[in-house]
Amino acid sequence: MSCRGAQQSPPDWPPAPGALRPSPFPHPVLHALHGLARALLFPAYWSLDQLLGYWAPATRAGSLERLSAAARAGAALLLLLISLPLALPGLLLWLPLQAWRRPFCYQPPPQSWAPPPPWRPRAEPARCFGFLSANLCLLPDGLARFSNLPHSQRRAQAVGAALLAGLRSSRYGATDCSPPQAGTPRGVLAAAVPAGLDFVCLQEVFDLRAARHLVRRLAPNLGPVLYDVGAFGLRAGPHLKLLGSGLLLASRFPLLRAAFRSFPNGRREDALASKGLLSAQAQLGILDGLRIVGFLHCTHLHAPREDGPVRCKQLALLLDWAEQFEAESRQDGEAVAFSVLLGDLNFDNCSRGDAREQKHQLFSRFQDPCRLGLRREQPWALGTLLSTRVLHHSEASSPEMLRRALEQEEGRRLYLAGGPGGSRPAEPWRGRRLDYILYHGVPGAPLSPEVEQVIFSTALAGLTDHLAVGLRLRVSAPS
């Protein structure tokens, strides 16, 4: 790792493209063969996806709809049988290629893209950075139907349009910072995508076609994107991984480095997915001739609610991996503005069944602005998991109507998942908060982060079964 001498010129802005190449393969021939393998597999994949959708529970299906679904399932079964002779050589080609594949794709922004002006704390003592995390349930369509969320491709296009509307209304955060009161972050419930976004982390973008819809929206309007993240194929165990991690990360600032590590202990419905930790380093500005960087860590933990020990093991791994990535990425003298962890952790801070995760050392390493302590939440904190049975109610499908409903306890009891049964609880029901944005600074560093605002957004109402979560982080230098 090289050191910067005192006489070296300051870093370029934007920095020259580094080790992040667009293709996940080191050679174009391998990339072409991988594309061929996926093309051979696609007819069988599509027909199997349609068959899975037939078995998903239907809502308000009449006899005609059931007959039509049965006909489509029969056609899909026929196509599956016809496509098997193509799928077998495709699989035999696809499996060995995974040994050469980097576990993510990188989409650089277009040539016309310009990042925000670099942050120079000597002239601008504080800057705010906006983060968004959202679980989109963009699984293959047949699987998504089990969560009452069909039409993954249409939903991906609608999500992209909603994010784009928010990005077009965004401004760079330098002039948006207001002096916050120390230790009192503000929480708001909003019907729009938070303004001023700099970093977007999405989970459950498992379907590659859906991912490409989002990449086409985000790369020109935000900046570089990491997608199709995961370690596929046969892995140590042995485990066969047919789905990726579902993670997607987009940044308004140049990305310098990225890495992905896969959890080794997925089981049950997560056994075929390559969930793990995606880490990235972004350059934010320049201080005293050296670069200012921020670290982003995106994850989605094990889903089955009864598997708390599995999640605790994953939390311990991601803490070690995040620390290792940051140590390997830093250069001498550079300033770290923040380290932020985003994602769906699949446990909350209120349920007694999640006691093991609630006491994890994660919360001594990262700060959770919504958490006051063990099973104690900020009065404005809100659950982020929606009830799948009411996702398509007119009120739940409208961002503004859902926002108004969630302001009242009756609306929260109706639309937030995991609500208390029977009699009304002694404390107001706030739902299960599974989606987190945590942060920490570097002790003794010249830059200090503090929360300005937390946003719970209903902007994606009707498109997913989670609320989106936003964080406005103010980073300041001593005056």
Active site residues: 466
Beta-carbon count within 10 A of 48 CB = 18
92-112 per-residue burial string, b: 16 or more CB within 10 A, e: under 16: ebbeebbeebbbbbbbbbeee
The answer to whether 140 touches 51, Cβ cutoff 8 Å, is no
Helix (H) or strand (E) holding 85: helix 63-97
- Measure Cα distances from 436 to 100, 334, 340, 346, 433 in Å: 33, 28, 10, 10, 8
Q: How many residues are recorded in the chain?
A: 479
Find the largest Cα–Cα distance for the chain: 78
Beta-carbon count within 10 A of 136 CB = 28
Strands annotated E in 21-89: none
Tell me the CB-side half-sphere exposure of residue 445, using CA atoms within 13 A: 21
Cα(457)–Cα(439) distance, integer angstroms: 19
Q: Tokens representing 375?
A: 């099973």
Number of helices (H), then strands (E), in the chain: 10, 17
DSSP alpha helix (H) spans, 169-307:
208-221
Q: Tokens representing 47?
A: 């027909």
Cα(403)–Cα(395) distance, integer angstroms: 9
Spell out the residues 6+ positions from residue 155 whose beta carbon is closer than 8 angstroms to its own: 136, 138, 149, 210, 463, 464
Cα(214)–Cα(202) distance, integer angstroms: 10
Helix (H) or strand (E) holding 313: helix 308-329
Q: Tokens representing 455?
A: 């946003």
Q: What is the CA radius of gyration of the chain?
A: 23
DSSP alpha helix (H) spans, 3-62:
28-55
Cα(242)–Cα(266) distance, integer angstroms: 13
